[in-house]
Amino acid sequence: MDIKHSQIEIEEENPFANCKLDREKYSKILTNIIQSYSNGFVLALNNKWGAGKTTFVKMWEQDLKNNEYQTLYFNAWENDFENNPLTALMGELKSLTTTKTEPGFKKTLKKASSLTKNIAPIIAKAIADRYIDTEGIKDAIVGVTKGLSDVFENEVIEYAKKKKSVSDFRLSLSEFIANTNKGKPLIFIIDELDRCRPDYAVSILEQIKHFFSVPNIVFVLSIDKEQLGNAVKGVYGSADLDADEYLRRFIDIEYSIPEPEADVFYNYLYDYFKFDDFFKSPERLKHREVQENKANFLATCKLLFSNAKVPLRQQEKIFSHCRLALRSFNTNSYVIPHIFIFLTFIKIRHNNFYENLKSKSLSIQEVQEEFLSTIKIRINEETERQLIWLEVYIVNAYNNYYQERYYRKPLMEKDSETGKNKALISSVVKKDAEYDIVRILENISWKQGTGDLALSHFTDKIDLLEALKT
């Protein structure tokens, strides 16, 4: 059994063969955009962190290769140890060289070296102005030893050199690309830009705009635009900066991969982590009262994942942890799957709520209110009963944990006049739900062994405080 979800294998001949989210159609749309604007532009793939962008762009990159496009993949986060992004970007371009194009690349590299030489003093001076107060130290860094008039004259000369260096570099780069791409644009994918050092991310954007904006290069930026915008604000030291407007300077086309169809991913994760090995094991299926475990587990997953827009990476984490914790249960133990997956869900997504439950710092009413705010689901005829069912089970487990057995307040009692049970709690999901609450509490009490299960029965296992079974 895997403890975490491994990277999806990308088959060379059929890159989307193992894609469980039916995303190949979006790669075709993006490839058509490239074909329509093959002269070069910057495309931003904008989705939240954990939406599966990296897997998608790697599959798409292989598909582009299969259609005779030259591609480069650059993970900015893994390479932000390099202070100058120009060095890293040129290093990636070097991988395109052949014996025939090597001289052209060396020519471009020489232009890049000249470019770096001409912009280095300006960068050094800017850093010195921002961080160093002593003018003598600034002078030592940038080599300013002449009079002010000489400095000004030199800066004018350096400005002209810099402009020519940029122009020469871009011309040389354009010629190199034209000789390597067989008439198709080079697709340069930059991934994880929003996760690397803010100054490095901004520097990459600036260098793409000023140095690499040449014909026949399509840059694909795989980003969470909101997070990248926060990095921009941090670099410029202004929370009021219009980061969205700033990013528009660099991005020509923005595209967001649509959310996968409801139910697709969590069902895939259920199979991937082999939950049936536990829920459908022959030993468990001997016990009639646990035969609906799988159905209850997946029904609760539908409530949690189909409506709250949980990032795919967080769904993976929840399922991975849940499957590991499930190994703490004996094959004949009560799991109560809807409680188990819900508690694992809030441990990872809403940890304050989880810790407050464990510390017994909430009243029953507060537990119900937190439950409703956490679930974030539209209540309708389809979901109402399932939500009440989950609500009452959570409240019952918490009530069993909250107070010692002999001092525990009951959640229902017999009506002295009618002889029927009546609920002592109400529901936050539905008004006038006493009939439903009573039926659920009766169902819990009828199932021998489940009515007295306390919250700690689940949290001790979720927190991995009990030994795992082999």
Report the range out of 245-249, 407-411, 425-429 with the highest average pLDDT. 425-429
Structure tokens at 63: 């598909």
Is the per-residue pLDDT at 355 higher than 80?
yes
Would you place residue 368 in the very low, low, confident or very high pLDDT band (cuts 50, 70, 90)? very high
Backbone angles phi, psi at 428, to 5 degrees: -90, -10
Is the per-residue pLDDT at 12 higher than 60?
yes
Residue 174 burial by CB count (10 A; 0-12/13-18/19+): exposed, middle or buried? middle
**The 3-state secondary structure of 106-171, one letter per residue:** HHHHHHHHHHHHHHHHHHHHHHHHHHCCCHHHHHHHHCCCCCHHHHHHHHHHHHHHHHHHHHHHHH
Q: What is the largest distance, in Å, between two alpha-carbon atoms of the chain? A: 103
- pLDDT number for residue 448: 63
pTM score, whole prediction = 0.76
Residue-range domains of the chain with CATH = 24-255 (3.40.50), 264-462 (no CATH)
- 7-11, 157-161, 221-225, 337-341: range with lowest mean pLDDT: 157-161
DSSP E strands, 315-420: 412-414
Residue 138 burial by CB count (10 A; 0-12/13-18/19+): exposed, middle or buried? middle
CA 79 to chain centre: 19
Residue 331 burial by CB count (10 A; 0-12/13-18/19+): exposed, middle or buried? middle
- Average the pLDDT over 200-223 and give the result: 86
Averaged pLDDT of the chain: 84
DSSP symbol at 413: E
- pLDDT number for residue 93: 83
- 176-185, 328-337, 392-401, 418-427: range with lowest mean pLDDT: 176-185
- pLDDT number for residue 452: 85
Residue 461 burial by CB count (10 A; 0-12/13-18/19+): exposed, middle or buried? buried
- pLDDT number for residue 158: 61
Is the per-residue pLDDT at 52 higher than 50?
yes
Q: Are 236 and 201 in contact (CB under 8 A)?
A: no
Report the range out of 82-91, 147-156, 303-312, 380-389 with the highest average pLDDT. 380-389
Is the per-residue pLDDT at 278 higher than 80?
yes
